[in-house]
Amino acid sequence: MHLQESGEMYLETILILSKEKPSVRAIDIGEYMHFSKPSVSRAVGLLKNGGLITVDTDGHICLTGTGRKIAEKIYTRHTVLTEVLTALGVPSEIAAADACKIEHDISDETFTALCRHMERYK
């Protein structure tokens, strides 16, 4: 399944919030991402229809196995890319913002090479 960048961002946000909170609701996602209720509602509907999340009757949102796999991949990319950029001397706030842009477009091959490189020089 090919997911657009915005869908990946929502999944990553749900993963991050689920690590911080016992349950995640649409309002939590909107506050975290600074998005409007209609935007979040539309995205939640698309992710639910795509089988990437479930929403129970109380509005609690959970990642499915597939959704979690995608979210963890994006989160790992974000974390590693931030670390790489920071190691290169980029200020942490800028490194995190740039990593957020790169994480969606970098190929698996390039990301794997970056990980190998970072392991070699740690």
Domains for the chain: give ranges and CATH numbers.
5-69 (1.10.10.10), 73-120 (1.10.60.10)
The model's pLDDT over 66-121, given as tens digits with 9 standing for 90+, comes to 999 999 999 999 999 999 999 999 999 999 999 999 998 999 999 999 999 888 87
The model's pLDDT over 29-77, given as tens digits with 9 standing for 90+, comes to 999 999 999 999 999 999 999 999 999 999 999 999 999 999 999 999 9
pLDDT at residue 92, as a whole number? 95
Cα–Cα distance for residue pair 27/31, rounded to 1 Å = 6
Cα–Cα distance for residue pair 83/91, rounded to 1 Å = 11
Q: What is the Cα 117 distance to its own chain's centre?
A: 23
pLDDT at residue 30, as a whole number? 96
The whole-model pTM stands at 0.89
pLDDT at residue 2, as a whole number? 63
The DSSP element (H or E) to which 92 belongs, if any, is helix 92-102
